[in-house]
Amino acid sequence: MDGKVFARVGAVAFVAVAITATAIEMTRKEEAPERWPSGRVIEAPADPLRDALIRCQALGEEGPRDPDCRRAWAENRHRFLAPGARPAERLPDMPPAPRDGFTPPSQRTNPQAPTPAAPNTPQLDEAR
């Protein structure tokens, strides 16, 4: 058999398989993904500050001149920037876990004492 004829037969077979696969895929019906029933409905409590901020955002350039918007922005800043508002300040104080034998100076018995040197570590020449 000639090489050109063999190539043409292979191309025709490839096209036939591609058309068949396309026809099968086009006739397949889409199935809606199943929803996971949660068993409860989550409703966020009404937040008047959020509503005021949305109203101020809708005002556009008039927002900075509106006294209600200024109060809402001040309350929003206070809510996030006030002492005790950050999550790190609300969490209990826990000492950090030691990493590879490192003890932070605040947990050492004598913070003025020098740290012990590494035991007999050979010094490498600097790269030039």
pLDDT in tens, 39-51: 666 676 778 888 9
State how far the Cα of 68 lies from the Cα of 74, in Å rounded to an integer: 10
In the predicted model, is pLDDT for residue 113 greater than 60?
no
Between CA 108 and CA 76 the distance in angstroms is: 41
Mean pLDDT rounded to a whole number for the chain: 76
* Tens digits of residue pLDDT in 14-38: 999 999 999 999 998 888 777 776 6
Q: What is the mean pLDDT of residues 85-111?
A: 57
Return the pLDDT at 15: 97
Residues 66 and 64: their CA atoms lie apart, in Å, by 6
In the 8-state DSSP scheme, what is residue 102?
B
